[in-house]
Structure 1
Amino acid sequence: MRNSDDFKFDITVAFVIFAFLIVVSLTYISIFFFNKISTQEFQEKVKISADNIVQIYKTKEDLIRKSTLAIANSELFSNNFNINPEIISSIFKIFLSANRDFLKIKYVNQYGKTIVYCKKIDKEIICGENDKNNFIFRDFKLQTSLFTKEIMTDEGLKFETISPIKKDPKKGFILLESTLKRLFSGSNNFYNLLLIDNNGNIYYSNFLKAKSIFDLFTYTLADRIKKAADKFVTDDIYVVPLNKKFKLVFIQNKKLINKTNAVSQKLAMIMILISIFLAIPLGVFFSKPLYNFYKDLDKRVKDEIEKTKEKEQILMHQSKLAALGEMLGNIAHQWRHPLTRLSLLIQNIEMAYKMNKLDDERFEKFKNNALSQIEYMSQTIDDFTNFFKKDTKKETFCPKEIIDKALQLMEARIKQNKLEIIYDVKNTTPIEGYKSEFSQVILNIINNAIDILKERNIENKKIWIRINGKTIEIEDNAGGIPDEIKDKIFEPYFTTKFQSQGTGIGLYMSRVIITQHFDGELYAYNSSNGAVFVIKFK
């Protein structure tokens, strides 16, 4: 059996040869086809490229902002915990490792002194408690929200975000430095790219070195470029804003097109033929070790999938146990009134017996009333058993019927909490899946709504249930989900209740059921009344 070093050598040689052939071939192919690029094609392609770069920038900017806020608002800096530099360093290391664009993160106190910092140097992450570049906080000491700024360096565009901890500058600040130098790495050969500010100063160029666009173009054209926003200044120059400070200038690469000639076209065809003839024997030679590698990789992936399924089954079982506990609680509520009636009937017949008034008619009436109460209790058990019975196969059903049965089973709890249910059914569309799993989802959401209404002591408790086709909304008037936990409510084992009152897997399993077993969506948002949970089926 070949050792790992031999296998790595085979893979390395294969990829070097193929990469060389592909690069050479694609270079000549691109030269061949660039000659056919028209003005219209350039304009179509450059708009797509511009949209992609702007979208990537906005996505990365949003991620950097959210990441900074997440650290600054985390429980790591809560008053309930002593701030431990070693723990913070460990968290910072994990944080920097999670994103290759993050360069440096540090925690400074209200006076600007660095408490803990971590930064990337080459491929390593170095941490310490004293940074030579202390935080200059005079401009931010009164800042209570996120502050951002962009800096252009020799290494490219950098993004700095500064956020006070827990929105309180007295608790210190979190600084995150990120790089956006990969923002322009996907530039195409059919255009040249400039990054300029609103004054026309050039901060990035992939073809010429100049300080200003006035050094490259005539004053009139440069002035038009400086003032332009999201339009073609000429047929071959396109300007689009990147943000409030910077603009992107796309210039058609005519130099590359003009160099294309008959010789390069012939060379391209020759290189294509050579690549084809070399690729076939090399592919056969290296296919076996690659096949074995991917076969082993496939086996490991399947093993991990099986482990994930086992974990999901454990969570599903725990969720069902929690649902069973809630079911027993509902049965107790449903039985309370008939048990009280039975107790009164027994006392009445005992009193009639002692007073010698127990005749056949009175005894028959007692028997019928007692049997009626026992039958009601027995029927309650049957209803709950059928409702939670495991389905063996998928079937088509009306979601309104399941919701009606769920409300019927929870009738005693609804009455006990003086809860008003407001139904709004515009139209219903049958769905396919497992009834018992869907009922589990409905019970989880409604029970959570009742719990939060009780916890917050809402006087006029209300739950709205809206059904419109394959969209179901369940809304309460408890005030909504706090922003700091809105992104966590569907995570496993996350709960705001005491451990004796909640397991933290109800909403997680509800989303798993809807997304994986019904191919749908389950999400939540806040309305003017409170939280709204939305179930959407395709």
Structure 2
Amino acid sequence: MEILCITLIICLCVVVIYKQQFYKSLYQDFTDGISIISENKIIDCNDTLVKLFGYDNKKEFLSVHPLNLTPAFQPDNSLSCDKAQEMMDIVEKTGKCKFDWVFLDKEQNEKWIEIDILKLKKTFFSKQKFCMVWRDIDLRVSVQKKLENFNSNLEDIVHQEIKKNKEKEKQLVKQSKLAQLGEMISMIAHQWRQPLAIISSSVIDLQMKMVLQKNDKKLLSYVEKHLSDTESCIASLTETIDDFRNFYKPIKSMQQTDLSLIVTKAYAMIESYFKTCNIEILFDDKSSKKITAFENELIQVCLNILQNSRENFLVKEIEKSQIIISTTDIEDGVSLSICDNGGGVTHGIIDKIFDPYFSTKYEKNGTGLGLYMCLKIVKEHHNGTITAANTKDGICFSILLPN
């Protein structure tokens, strides 16, 4: 019986020792720092906690008072000693507490640590002890701060990007206007050439008549006729300048207009130029609805499309060049189509013709902004749509605008 009791005691001792070794191993090898606190001092800790603070050994770490491991103030500007007492008061009342804290390592570098405090059961005649788990959250806090900064600055970043995009758009509009201005000057020069030639011829003719027929009574009526012709030519020149000046005059508000007026004004600017190139323009006007629009912008759209057709005719040397402009009323607005017989656009690139800086005119002639600006004007300024599709003989642009 005694042997059995001794054997049982030995077995119990072995179990106790095994458990002690198991928990000691668990305690030492735990990935987070663990310490035992008594009377506001660290009386024991695992090696993980020592390494967390950068100390050489446990003895050196345990010799440091807990308050010396923390800066005088926490990030919320509260005194560390006062806030630490608040946390301990919570532990005394509830038995546990969890919070984030800024500590100082051996090199006095700040380190964010998440603290879990658990109040241990008090045994007879023993002092109150607390178990603390220390978890390194430096990386988490760093990422969180960056995210908070990013979110706080996100609105500013968005506004800056919008501003940059608007500036880019302004530059695109400016480039497009400059490119179109060159074409317009060429048209003005062409439309002025004939009236100026007539004026020059009339002046020379009058000078000759005055020299050769000084006493001729018919001279007066002849001069009057030529002066009338000259006046008519000058009026034509003035009208041309007014047309182009009005086209480039900035209009900041929408106004009531109709497609017939827009197409007529656009056609008036290029009529003489297109006739010289033997380009026939047919206008089938079946629209009577009024629309609210930036008139000059829609004239610009028409001119861009018409100019593209003209240049395509010249490059491909199309005989009997023809453009058909059609307007119709639809349920929710109006429709404008501009179709030519210039052979169309290569199937593989027709979907790209509205992209900025994309041009089929090769480097020497095209800026790649004309049709892009057409898309911007129709879609963004007028809430409409513009599409292009190849036909049997050429290409057809379709524009839908709300009334």
Both structures adopt the same fold (TM-score exceeding 0.5) = yes
Q: How does 1:429-444 map to 2 (within 5 A)?
A: 429-444=289-304
Structure with higher Rg: it is 2
Alpha-carbon shift at residue 373 of structure 1 (Å): 1.4
Q: How many residues end up aligned between the 2 structures?
A: 254
Aligned equivalent of 2:343: 479
Deviation at 1:288, TM superposition (A): 11
* In 2, Cα distance between equivalents of 1:398 and 1:410: 19
CA shift, 1:494, in A, is: 1.5
**1:38-437 alignment to 2 at 5 Å?**
293-357=150-214, 359-437=219-297
Q: CA deviation at 1:475?
A: 0.6
TM-score (ref. length: structure 1): 0.45
Q: Does 1:502 align with 2:359?
A: no
1:520 corresponds to 2:384: yes
Distance in 2 (CA, whole Å) between partners of 1:397 and 1:325 is 27
- The residue aligned with 2:326 is 466
Please state whether the residue corresponding to 1:390 is helix, strand or coil. Answer: coil
In the aligned structure 2, how far is the partner of 1:431 from the partner of 1:464? 22
**Structure 1 residues without counterparts, runs of 5 or longer:** 3-286
1:248-272 Cα distance to aligned partner (Å, 9 max, x none)? xxxxxxxxxxxxxxxxxxxxxxxxx
Distance in structure 1 (CA, Å) of the matches to 2:222 and 2:343 = 54
Q: Secondary structure at the residue paired with 1:338? A: helix
State the match for 2:316 in structure 1: 456
**Comparing 352-361 with 309-318, which one deviates more in the overlay?**
352-361
Tell me the secondary structure at the aligned position of residue 185 of structure 2.
helix
CA apart distance, 1:303: 0.8
Task: State the AA in 1 paired with 2:173.
Answer: M
CA distance in 1 between partners of 2:287 and 2:223 (Å): 51
CA offsets 1:346-394 (integer angstroms, 9 cap, x no match): 2211221231347433333333322221122112111221133210211
CA gap 1:468/1:363 in 2 versus in 1, 3 angstroms: closer
Look up the SS of the partner of 2:354 in the other structure: coil
What TM-score do the two structures reach when normalised by structure 2?
0.59
Measured in 1, the distance between the counterparts of 2:147 and 2:288 equals 52
> Quick one: distance in 2 between partners of 1:356 and 1:346?
15
Shift of residue 338, structure 1, vs aligned partner: 0.7
- Structure 1 match to 2:66: none
Which whole-Å CA distance do the structure 2 matches of 1:303 and 1:324 have between them?
A: 31
Q: Deviations over 1:49-83 (max 9, x none)?
A: xxxxxxxxxxxxxxxxxxxxxxxxxxxxxxxxxxx
Offset from partner CA, 1:408-452 (integer Å, 9 cap, x none): 111111211222222223333322221111111110001101111
Q: 1:318: how far off?
A: 0.9
Q: Percent identity?
A: 38
Cα separation, 1, equivalents of 2:280 and 2:343: 16
For the aligned residues, what is the CA RMSD?
Answer: 2.3
Task: Indicate how the Cα distance of structure 1 residues 392 and 527 shifts in structure 2: closer, same or farther if over 3 A, else same.
Answer: same
Query: Residues 426 and 361 (structure 1 numbering): CA distance in 2 closer, same or farther, change over 3 Å?
Result: closer
